[in-house]
């Protein structure tokens, strides 16, 4: 009799298999990337049931067989930092950016995050859901099967819960894995200017409800000049930890306040941005297991010359992951492949480091490393067939979508459409 596979994908030119363990890949380990050539994979009940050579798979019984035609197959990508749910858009800010108005100044004048807060308050839950669905479908089309999504454009109880409710509905509707983060401490609403402690206290009153209703796994805060201080962030996140949340920090994005050090001391899953992280902050990251989630798309979009010091972080021994930071103000793209190119060009990361940073280390940054970020027997068969000749090609050929087909639990969830081939008789 023998086993019948639900699906065999054969003739895989390169199968990318990031190494998974209890801890994220740190420092030099990020250079290790197992790549099997002429490979195949077998799926049973949505899980990886076999990995081996393409020729060995030829005799297997399978309900369906896909010829990968020598293309690259990787685990589904993991995007560990997105602001997926928001109202409105901010194209009007582009001219301010061109005129050189700094990001924090736009925010201080009530624009930036605060303008998205108004639009999010004014949008119905249905509108937010429709809009977020559109962005999420685009993320999936770029090969993402696991992602994190934050609230943070409410800054009041009702709107924060509305955003988290939308994330919950997205989790129910879409066949991808979504980790939800409560970012009620994303900015200071004008009514609370000078009363930041009071505002944080109000936001922390939501912890109980958010926890009880399972609306978020993590709590995050924007620790930055003019937003929340290191001390305020520590106190807020400490409370969140006591309530059983994992914690994350928007840390040292613009000024080196010590957000990286704080993240490590709290045992945060990740410290994100880190463009301005100090030598001491980087040293601390190397000592702990907090993942440095770098967001080069944001640095690019804000028009900055200096990017996060990824090379130093890796040389010192830190664990680095990459994310889009998709949001309507500082990084307006769902394309994690574009971020892979920026990581190569601006962060000087190697192709192997980049692949680990968008798979296994990204999964560690959101507590999903035992389920996502690699392909192993028994794990969900979340994978992407890439229409590229080898794994180094994706960071190299930038700004376009290389995904051919995206699978979640062994099922095709997105496929690239072919050119229609329609002949127009009166073409001119």
**Binding stretches for ligand NIG (CB under 6 A):** 83, 112-113, 116, 222, 250, 253, 298, 325, 327-330
Min dist CB 325 to Fe ion, Å, is 5
Min dist CB 187 to ligand NIG, Å, is 8
26/250 with CB nearer ligand NIG? 250
Which H helix or E strand runs over 7?
A: strand 4-17
301/414 with CB nearer Fe ion? 301
Phi, psi of 48 (to 5 degrees): -70, 125
93/325 with CB nearer Fe ion? 325
160/253 with CB nearer ligand NIG? 253
Min dist CB 250 to Fe ion, Å, is 6
Strands 291-294 and 320-322: parallel
Min dist CB 310 to Fe ion, Å, is 17
| DSSP classification of residue 417 | P
Q: Using an 8 Å Cβ cutoff, are 155 and 207 in contact? A: no
CA atoms within 13 A on the CB side of 344: 19
DSSP structure string for 73-106: EEEPEEE-------SS--TTHHHHHHTT--HHHH
Joined together, the tokens standing for residue 183 give 């970012």
Is 406 strand, coil or helix? strand
Axis crossing angle, helix 125-141 with helix 157-173, rounded to the nearest 10:
50
Residue 243, burial from CB neighbour count under 10 angstroms (0-12, 13-18, 19+): middle
Q: What, of Fe ion, ligand NIG, none, does residue 309 touch, CB below 5 to 8 Å by kind? A: none
The Cβ of residue 347 has, within 10 Å, a number of other Cβ atoms equal to 23
Min dist CB 327 to ligand NIG, Å, is 4
Min dist CB 224 to ligand NIG, Å, is 7
Residue closest to Fe ion when measured from CB atoms: 325
Q: What, of ligand NIG, Fe ion, none, does residue 217 touch, CB below 5 to 8 Å by kind? A: none
Q: What, of ligand NIG, Fe ion, none, does residue 253 touch, CB below 5 to 8 Å by kind? A: ligand NIG
Min dist CB 86 to ligand NIG, Å, is 7
26/250 with CB nearer Fe ion? 250
259/410 with CB nearer ligand NIG? 259
What sign for the dihedral angle of Cα 145, 148, 151, 153? negative
Residue closest to ligand NIG when measured from CB atoms: 329
- β-strand partners of 53: 39
Q: Using an 8 Å Cβ cutoff, are 152 and 388 in contact? A: no
Q: What, of Fe ion, ligand NIG, none, does residue 248 touch, CB below 5 to 8 Å by kind? A: none
Q: What, of Fe ion, ligand NIG, none, does residue 112 touch, CB below 5 to 8 Å by kind? A: ligand NIG
Cα separation values, 405 from 71, 375, 382, Å = 11, 16, 11
Q: What, of Fe ion, ligand NIG, none, does residue 76 touch, CB below 5 to 8 Å by kind? A: none
The Cβ of residue 383 has, within 10 Å, a number of other Cβ atoms equal to 25
For residues 247 and 221, what is the distance between their CA atoms, to the nearest angstrom? 9
79/325 with CB nearer ligand NIG? 325
| DSSP classification of residue 423 | P
State the residues that interact with Fe ion by CB under 5 A: 325
Q: What, of ligand NIG, Fe ion, none, does residue 54 touch, CB below 5 to 8 Å by kind? A: none
Min dist CB 113 to ligand NIG, Å, is 4
Q: What, of Fe ion, ligand NIG, none, does residue 329 touch, CB below 5 to 8 Å by kind? A: ligand NIG
15/331 with CB nearer ligand NIG? 331
């Amino acid at each position: 009799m023998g086993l019948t596979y639900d699906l065999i994908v054969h003739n895989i030119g390169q199968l990318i298999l990031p190494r998974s363990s209890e801890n994220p890949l740190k420092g030099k380990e990020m250079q290790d990337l197992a790549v099997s050539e002429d490979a195949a994979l077998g799926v049973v009940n949505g899980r990886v049931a076999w990995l081996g050579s393409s020729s060995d798979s030829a005799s297997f019984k399978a309900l369906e067989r896909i010829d990968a035609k020598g293309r690259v197959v990787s685990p589904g990508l993991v995007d560990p930092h997105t602001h997926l749910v928001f109202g409105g858009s901010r194209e009007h800010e582009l001219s301010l950016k061109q005129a050189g108005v700094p990001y924090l100044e736009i925010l201080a004048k009530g624009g930036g995050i605060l303008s998205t807060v108004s639009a999010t308050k004014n949008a119905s839950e249905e509108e937010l859901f429709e809009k977020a669905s559109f962005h999420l479908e685009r993320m999936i089309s770029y090969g993402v099967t696991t992602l994190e999504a934050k609230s943070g454009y409410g800054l009041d109880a009702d709107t924060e819960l509305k955003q988290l409710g939308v994330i919950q509905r997205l989790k129910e509707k879409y066949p991808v894995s979504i980790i939800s983060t409560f970012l009620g401490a994303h900015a200071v609403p004008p009514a609370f200017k000078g009363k930041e402690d009071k505002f944080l206290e109000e936001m922390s009153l939501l912890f109980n409800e958010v926890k009880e209703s399972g609306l978020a796994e993590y709590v995050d805060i924007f620790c930055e000049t003019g937003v929340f201080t290191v001390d305020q962030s520590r106190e807020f996140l400490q409370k969140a930890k006591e309530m059983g949340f994992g914690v994350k920090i928007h840390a040292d994005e613009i000024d080196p306040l010590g957000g990286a050090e704080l993240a490590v001391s709290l045992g945060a899953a990740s410290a994100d941005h880190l463009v301005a992280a100090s030598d001491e902050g980087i040293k601390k990251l190397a000592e702990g297991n907090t993942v440095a989630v770098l967001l080069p798309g944001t640095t690019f979009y804000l028009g900055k010359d200096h990017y996060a010091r990824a090379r130093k972080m890796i040389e010192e021994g830190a664990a680095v992951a990459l994310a889009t930071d998709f949001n309507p103000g500082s990084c307006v793209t769902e394309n994690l492949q574009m971020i892979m190119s920026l990581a190569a060009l601006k962060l000087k990361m190697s192709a192997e480091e980049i692949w680990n940073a968008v798979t296994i280390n990204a999964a560690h940054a959101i507590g999903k490393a035992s389920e996502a970020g690699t392909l192993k027997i028994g794990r969900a068969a979340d994978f992407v067939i890439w229409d590229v000749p080898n794994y180094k090609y994706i960071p190299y050929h930038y700004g376009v979508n290389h995904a051919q087909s995206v699978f979640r639990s062994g099922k095709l969830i997105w496929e690239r459409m072919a050119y229609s081939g329609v002949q127009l008789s009166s073409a001119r």
